[in-house]
Amino acid sequence: MPITTDSVRTYYDENTTLFLKFSGSLREKAQNIHRSLWTDGIHTLEEALNFSNSLILHEIQSSTPSHARIADLGCGVGASLFYIHPRLQSPAPALGVTLSLVQAKLAHAFATQLRLQDQINFAEGDFTSVPLPGESLDAVYSVEAVCHAVDPESYFREASRLLRKGGKLILVDDYQAAHPFSTNENKWLKAYMDGWYVPGVRTVEQVISFANKYQLQLNKNEELTPHLRLHNLPNLLASALLFLGEKLPIKHAIVPSMLGSMALQQCLHMKIVEYRFLVFEK
């Protein structure tokens, strides 16, 4: 079945609580659901989980040293905003948007626990239609979120509408490699995209084309894949697990998620998917 915005919403409504249980976040403060990056000088899991947040923070600070107006489009349970917003100098109230009602409620609860409920607002909604006026933001960012867009071009149109001239769009996400894929590589790419509900995974070149159409110019493109700790399996073993997993009668969304996770590791190892940090300026 084709992936739709509603199916992405259901995927996160059904899986978010399990994701957080695995990380221990339901017992403590909100934790990042996205990937850890182990660069030089990173020694703890918390540092690795927040490395991408630190990159985003630096980009915001470099262009808007104070009173920054920001939004996290595809904010999950708010962990990135909880890291970034308090570290900004006198920021305006921030907005986080998520498709998932479950995530929005959890984000509100975590914000209250952290006493940030008056500084960070969360809304359930589609990040291609954000309830803010045009040119009202200094920075828009998304971490592992645009990949879920059924129509990724519409994301760039909306980001451009929201940003002031000179504002930044900051992305951390997966991108398809530009070279042709073999039958085996296409199998793993499809398994990742189907399992994780990520129909919006495109090449960097395609993303740049979308962005340029809406007056967004690329000024940074860094590959982060080497900083991931991959857990890929031998191809035959992974293929057998994928075959068996697809035959399981269990209907809960955690099953395709687990298969998608395994497929992503195979894709990253085979270099048909790249994890990248992109910055655009309007």
Q: Give the domains, in start order, of the chain with CATH numbers.
A: 5-175+198-230+271-281 (3.40.50.150)
Q: In the prediction, which pLDDT does 29 show?
A: 56
Q: Work out the pLDDT band at 27, boundaries 50, 70, 90.
A: very low
Percent of the chain whose pLDDT exceeds 90: 85
For residues 15-39, one letter each, b for 16 or more C-beta atoms within 10 angstroms of the residue's C-beta and e for the rest, the string is bbeebbeebebbeeebbbbbbbbee
Could you read off the pLDDT of 209-226 as tens digits, one per residue?
Answer: 999 999 999 999 999 999
264: nearest Cα among 239, 232, 220: 232
pLDDT tens digits, one per residue of 61-101: 999 999 999 999 999 999 999 999 999 999 999 999 999 99
**Is the Cβ–Cβ distance between 188 and 271 less than 8 Å?**
no
What is the pTM (predicted TM-score) of this model? Answer: 0.95
Between 22 and 12, the more confident residue is 12
Phi and psi torsions of 203, nearest 5°: -75, 160
Tens of pLDDT, residue by residue over 224-256, are: 999 999 999 999 999 999 899 888 776 677 888
In this model, does residue 25 exceed pLDDT 50? no
pLDDT of residue 187: 97
Tell me: pLDDT of 139 over 90.
Answer: yes
CA distances to 101, 176, 200, 221, 239 from 188, rounded to whole Å, are 30, 12, 16, 25, 9
